[in-house]
Amino acid sequence: MSQDVCIIRGDGIGPEISDAVEKIIDAAGVAINWIPLDAGLKCVEAGEPIVPDRTIDRIREVGIALKAPMTTPIGKGSVSPNVTLRKRLDLYACVRPARSLPGVKTPFQGLDIVIFRENSEDLYTQIEYMVTPTVANSIKLISEQASEKIARAAFEFARKNGRRLVTCVHKANIMKIADGLFLRTFQRVAKEYPDIESWDIIVDALCMQLVTKWRQFDVLVLPNLYGDIVSDLAAGMMGGLGVAPGANYGDKTAVFEAVHGSAPKYAGLDKVNPMALLFSANMMLRHMGHDAQAEAIEGAVERTLVKGVKTYDLLGSAKTSEFADAVRAELRL
């Protein structure tokens, strides 16, 4: 019996990588009824909100969505579609794993971390205004409630998945009130998980140590802005944005997305790496209870990489469709 999943195929290279991912999931034997939804640049060009109400309502109804990259128009007063989805669907936890991959050469072998980014607050509330014509102000909003939810999500994940350490990343030495609240809340929640080691580190120190002593880290929990920056750093360490997955969880809804952008200059060229969206879809499959199929896809991708079938970003020559076909062939072995 097939399961309903909403899909936003996105802008730029979004439709191409979505097609590749759908074919791979089908080859893995997972029956999904894909429900296409509108969002992104084409909605703005049609005079609609970047994420229409009908799209939000349908995702709420189904509970699961896979989202390809979308374009945010610059200088047109349009808000980010990603931020819109997170806020309106109350997707408070952004989860981004980063691990080294067989066949992908980086200096960071043995990397295996999971980043929990608080998704609803911080500077991303977009509460900003001009104080005077030459002075702007942006509000950094941190609440105990949201901080507790993301800290608890990180510890629950660690316990469920046998992770040993959860590290809180902050700048409480400077922002003693806002980041101080985030840190104190983390420390309070940590006391409820005595079986898991907890630690905290200042964000600039983390960035330095992440590229020099990456094996010491396991699960990271961060406010929104730091989480956005550090997750891209971790993506670079694992091989680039083309291989970096992401998921956004709420209490009732989950949206899975590639970390990278829509890359409009590559649209229609059959060139871009579909792995980021594929690994995001794999997180979705595990969320849906298809652990065996997700593991099979991961194994097929790794064997494909080891055989040298890679897209341009990994210094290969395979097209999007060729990489997808190679993964599907591995699944049939």
Q: Domain residues for 60?
A: 1-92+244-333
Per-residue pLDDT tens digits for 270-283 = 999 999 999 999 99
User: Taking 70 as the threshold, does the pLDDT of residue 231 lie above it?
Assistant: yes
According to the model, what pLDDT value does residue 75 have?
Answer: 64
Average pLDDT, the chain: 96
Mean pLDDT of 24-31: 97
Q: Is 67 designated active site?
A: no
Given the residues 87, 171, 271, 310, the one annotated as active site: 171
Q: Are residues 232 and 156 in the same domain?
A: yes
CA distance 240 to 295: 22
Last residue of a domain, one of 187, 208, 238: 238
Domain presence at residue 102: no
**Do 77 and 160 belong to one domain?**
no
Q: What percent of the chain has pLDDT over 70?
A: 99
Residue at which a domain ends, from 182, 206, 238: 238
| Domain presence at residue 328 | yes
171 is catalytic: yes
Among 43, 38, 42, smallest CA distance to 9 is for 38
Catalytic: 204? Answer: yes
Q: Is residue 101 part of a domain?
A: no
pLDDT value of residue 254: 98
pLDDT the model gives residue 76: 54
* Phi-psi label, residue 110: left if phi above 0, alpha if psi -120 to 50, beta otherwise: left
Answer yes or no: do 226 and 140 share one domain: yes
Looking at the fold, whether 233 and 250 belong to one and the same domain comes out as: no
Burial of 199 (0-12, 13-18, 19+ CB in 10 A): middle
- Residues 42 and 76 grouped into a single domain: yes
Check whether residue 111 and residue 231 sit in a common domain.
Answer: yes
Percent of the chain with pLDDT over 90: 92
pLDDT given at position 126: 83
- Residue 277 included in any domain: yes
Q: In this predicted model, what pLDDT tens digit does every residue of 146-177 receive, in sequence order?
A: 999 999 999 999 999 999 999 999 999 999 99
**Which residue in 11, 122, 218, 228 is the catalytic one?**
228
Please pick, among 87, 92, 122, 124, the residue that the annotation labels catalytic: 124
Residue 102 has a pLDDT of: 95
279 and 312 belong to one structural domain: yes
| pLDDT at 312 exceeding the cut of 70 | yes
Q: What is the pLDDT of residue 227?
A: 98
Write the CATH number for 122: 3.40.718.10
Is residue 99, in this structure, part of any structural domain at all? no
The residue out of 238, 259, 277 marking a domain boundary is 238
Give the Cα separation of 143 and 103 in Å (integer). 42
Q: Is the pLDDT of residue 98 over 70?
A: yes
The whole-number pLDDT of residue 8 equals 98
CB burial of 245-255 (b: ≥16 within 10 Å; e: otherwise) equals: bbbbbbeebbb
Mean pLDDT of 95-119: 97
- State residue 78's pLDDT score: 65
Q: Is the predicted pLDDT of residue 123 greater than 60, yes or no?
A: yes
Per-residue pLDDT band at 259 (split at 50, 70, 90)? confident
- Is residue 188 in some structural domain? yes
**What is residue 80's predicted lDDT score, i.e. its pLDDT?**
83
Q: How many domains does the chain have?
A: 2
Indicate if the pLDDT at residue 30 is higher than 90.
yes
Write out the two tokens for 261: 């952008």
Composition of the chain by helix, strand, coil, percent to 5? 45, 20, 35
pTM listed for this prediction: 0.93
**Is the same domain home to 160 and 40?**
no
Q: Judge whether 58 lies within some domain.
A: yes
Q: Where are the alpha helices (DSSP H) in 172-319?
A: 178-190, 203-210, 224-238, 275-287, 291-306
For 50-74, how does the pLDDT look when each residue is reduced to its tens digit (9 = 90+)?
999 999 999 999 999 999 999 987 7
- For residue 244, pLDDT beyond 90: yes
Residue 157 lies inside a defined structural domain of this protein: yes
* 211/298 same-domain check: no
Give mean pLDDT, residues 179-187.
Answer: 99
- Specify whether 25 is located in the same domain as 139: no
Kindly state whether residues 22 and 67 are assigned to the same domain.
yes
Task: Clarify whether residues 74 and 23 are in a common domain.
Answer: yes
Q: Is 200 a catalytic residue?
A: no
What's the whole-number mean pLDDT along residues 113-128?
94
Catalytic one of 53, 204, 251, 291 = 204
